[in-house]
């Protein structure tokens, strides 16, 4: 089994990663809060798998000098893929890219997809990390959010992870659901010790404008907890995970030592990654981002002709610095002043002055060349970051 990186900052910063993300744009049905790109019509699933394979070959030169350290199947619902689909894609990757012997291979799963023996197939393929979208054990909230599983399905799925010894496991939990109580949330947290879960992502329910949830709230058909409630849950989470030996290594992510998500840490450290599939994003590790067309039909027709339909952005100096500020405020490693200085020799000094102007220096600890946000300021990480952004 391949485990994640340790919590040791020096070791973590010495490792250079290249990540590969594959977007599987299909779901059985639409969750009411989700604004990711997907389709509930999976009739083109086989064509999509073949197209993903073609795009991998088409873009292999983009990582020709890099070793792939992480492979991540996301979506959508990648656990809709059959074992032969996953094997087909992993075989193409192994033939066209240099892949680390210790590669982390993750797949996002819904609980209803792993109540049989799919985990055995995953292990045979070399998949060594699962991320299960549980969200909550509250069946009423699951129904309101149009999820495709209930709490019993979740418990059966987690039992399977124990049976097949999938220790490198993440679960997604979401707080701020309609009707949520402290008792309901503590029941969610009880899962963690019961099933020996090593990594947990805890997200605050976010209302996106183009979702059914937004419509229901606007029409008064639903209500959700307020910011004060969300702050209470955030603080409860922080205390619970600290008491149980988890590192709060990113604002929404908690892990035992050696079980950090390598792939997501790649994003958070500003490293290079390649995104395959409709709507997938890529980053060259320097100043260029690109993203594929968010339309399955256009994506398929383009790849069939050997053409990638995408857009690209060249980041300005300020945007590059601002990204480092944002991810630095959200992670335990902090803002890397040396990286900022590499981009602009005077930028670190300007940043320190801006922190003093905004009376924010007390919100940070200074550790060598890093500014690390203090625990009592983590809840406000995004606001603090945006208040010290560089502007043109």
- Give the span between the Cα atoms of 242 and 247, in whole angstroms: 7
Half-sphere exposure of residue 355, counting CA atoms within 13 Å on the CB side?
20
- Give the span between the Cα atoms of 137 and 139, in whole angstroms: 6
For residue 27, the model assigns a pLDDT of: 92
Within a 10 A sphere around the Cβ of 258, how many other Cβ atoms?
Answer: 13
Q: pTM for the complete prediction?
A: 0.93
DSSP 247-313: EEEETTEEE-TT---HHHHHHHTT-EEEEESTT-EEE-SSSEEEEE-S-HHHHHHHHHTT---EEEE
Instruction: Give all domains of the chain, ordered by start, each with its CATH number.
Output: 9-268 (3.80.30.20), 334-387 (no CATH)
Residue 264 Ramachandran class (φ > 0 left, ψ -120 to 50 alpha, else beta): alpha
H-run or E-run covering 8: none
For residue 17, the model assigns a pLDDT of: 57
Q: Give the SS3 label for residue 127.
A: coil
- Give the span between the Cα atoms of 320 and 328, in whole angstroms: 12
Within a 10 A sphere around the Cβ of 194, how many other Cβ atoms?
Answer: 11
Q: Give the SS3 label for residue 46.
A: helix
Largest CA distance in the chain: 58
Task: Say which residue the tokens 């709490």 belong to.
Answer: 151
According to DSSP, residue 29 is labeled S
* C-alpha dist (Å) from residue 126 to 11, 17, 65, 107, 261: 25, 19, 23, 11, 16
- Give the span between the Cα atoms of 92 and 90, in whole angstroms: 5
pLDDT one digit per residue (tens) for the chain, 392 residues? 333 333 333 333 334 559 999 999 999 988 999 988 888 888 999 999 999 999 999 999 999 999 999 999 999 999 999 999 999 999 999 999 999 999 999 999 999 998 777 899 999 999 999 999 999 999 999 999 999 999 999 999 999 999 999 889 999 999 999 999 999 999 999 999 999 999 999 999 998 988 999 999 999 999 999 999 999 999 999 999 999 999 999 999 999 999 999 999 999 998 999 999 999 999 999 999 999 999 999 999 999 999 999 999 999 999 999 999 999 999 999 999 999 999 999 999 999 999 999 999 999 999 999 999 999 999 999 999 999 999 97
CB 151 within 8 A of CB 137: yes
- Buried b vs exposed e over 196-235: b needs ≥16 C-beta within 10 Å? ebbbbbbebbeeeeebbbbebeeeeebebbeeebbeebbe
Cβ-in-10-Å burial (0-12, 13-18, 19+) of 174 comes to buried
Question: Residue 138: phi, psi to the nearest 5?
Answer: -80, 105
**Comparing C-alpha atoms, which of 112, 133, 119 is closest to residue 162?**
119
**Comparing C-alpha atoms, which of 362, 378, 286 is closest to residue 324?**
286
H-run or E-run covering 370: strand 370-373
For residue 115, the model assigns a pLDDT of: 73
Query: Mind spelling out the 3-state secondary structure of 69-112?
Result: EEEEEEECCHHHCCHHHHHHHHHHHHHHCEEEEEEEEEEEECHH
């Amino acid at each position: 089994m391949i485990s994640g990186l340790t919590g040791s900052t020096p070791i973590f910063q010495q490792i250079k990663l290249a990540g590969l993300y594959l977007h599987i744009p299909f779901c059985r049905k639409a969750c009411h809060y989700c604004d990711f790109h997907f389709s509930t019509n999976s009739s083109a699933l086989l064509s999509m798998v073949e197209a993903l394979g073609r795009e991998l070959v088409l873009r292999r030169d983009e990582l020709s000098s890099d070793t792939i350290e992480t492979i991540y199947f996301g979506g959508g619902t990648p656990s809709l893929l059959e074992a032969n689909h996953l094997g087909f894609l992993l075989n193409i990757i192994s033939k066209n890219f240099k892949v680390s012997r210790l590669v982390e291979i993750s797949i996002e799963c819904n609980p209803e997809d792993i109540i049989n023996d799919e985990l055995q197939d995953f292990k045979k393929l070399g998949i060594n990390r699962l991320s299960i979208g549980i969200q909550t054990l509250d069946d009423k909230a699951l129904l309101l959010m149009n999820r495709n599983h209930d709490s019993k399905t979740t418990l059966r799925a987690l039992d399977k992870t124990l049976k097949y010894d999938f220790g490198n496991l993440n679960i997604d939990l979401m707080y701020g659901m309609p009707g949520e109580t402290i008792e309901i949330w503590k029941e969610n947290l009880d899962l963690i010790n019961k099933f020996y879960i090593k990594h947990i992502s805890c997200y605050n329910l976010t209302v996106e404008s183009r979702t059914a949830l937004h419509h229901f709230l606007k029409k008064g058909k639903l209500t959700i907890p307020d910011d004060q409630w969300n702050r209470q849950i955030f603080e409860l989470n922080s205390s619970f995970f600290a008491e149980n030996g988890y590192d709060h290594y990113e604002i929404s992510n908690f892990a035992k030592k050696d079980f950090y998500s390598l792939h997501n840490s790649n994003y958070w450290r500003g490293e290079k990654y390649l995104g395959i599939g409709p709507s997938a994003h890529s980053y060259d590790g320097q100043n260029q981002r690109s993203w594929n067309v968010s339309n399955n039909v256009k994506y398929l027709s383009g790849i069939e002709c050997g053409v990638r339909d995408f857009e690209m952005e060249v980041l300005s100096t300020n945007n590059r610095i601002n990204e480092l500020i944002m991810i630095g405020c959200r992670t335990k490693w902090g803002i890397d002043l040396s990286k900022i200085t590499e981009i602009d020799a005077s930028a670190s000094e300007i940043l320190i002055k801006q922190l003093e102007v905004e009376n924010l220096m007390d919100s940070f600890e200074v550790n060598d060349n890093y500014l690390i946000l203090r625990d009592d300021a983590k809840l406000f990480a995004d606001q603090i970051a945006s208040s010290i952004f560089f502007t043109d």
